[in-house]
């Protein structure tokens, strides 16, 4: 009985550690895959190209884990909203994008 209890406690602790990291949901990609930001923005594009495709972001934040900036967008589809970020390096080039906020992305990068 003690071994089972210990295994449960260890499992719960491991899951609690994972709870602080936000992972992308594959359903988000399936739902929003045809949105211009998701479909057209590619690594290496300039900030100006992204603004032409996605328009003005909700916010732009300075990245903390790595040099550069990050644009927060809100995707809308059939009444549902989804956060989406696009990060830029020091040269203003896209180096990542995904279905979370810039703040969540930065937290994930600092945790690695």
pTM of the model: 0.77
* Predicted confidence band of residue 10 (pLDDT cuts 50, 70, 90): very low
Domain CATH code at residue 46: 3.30.1450.10
Q: What is the pLDDT of residues 54-83, one digit of tens each?
A: 999 999 999 998 999 999 999 999 889 999
Which residues pair with residue 98 across a beta bridge? Answer: 85
Top-confidence residue, 18 or 52? 52
pLDDT at site 86: 98
Asked, for residue 9, whether it belongs to a domain, the answer is no
Asked, for residue 3, whether it belongs to a domain, the answer is no
Name the domain count of the chain: 1
Which residues pair with residue 85 across a beta bridge? Answer: 72, 98
Which residues pair with residue 88 across a beta bridge? Answer: 69, 94
Asked, for residue 45, whether it belongs to a domain, the answer is yes
Q: What is the pLDDT of residues 80-93, one digit of tens each?
A: 999 999 999 999 99
Which domain covers residue 88, as residue numbers?
A: 29-111
Q: Is the pLDDT of residue 37 over 70?
A: yes
């Amino acid at each position: 009985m003690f071994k089972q209890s210990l295994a449960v406690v260890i499992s719960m602790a491991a899951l609690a550690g994972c709870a602080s990291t936000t992972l992308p949901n594959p359903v988000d990609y399936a739902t929003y895959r045809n949105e211009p930001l998701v479909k057209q923005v590619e690594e290496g594009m300039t900030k100006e190209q992204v603004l032409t495709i996605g328009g003005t972001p909700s916010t732009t934040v300075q990245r903390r884990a790595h040099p550069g900036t990050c644009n927060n967008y809100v995707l809308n589809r059939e009444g549902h909203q989804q956060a989406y970020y696009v990060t830029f390096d020091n040269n203003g080039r896209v180096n990542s994008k995904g279905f979370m906020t810039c703040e969540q992305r930065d937290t994930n990068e600092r945790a690695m």
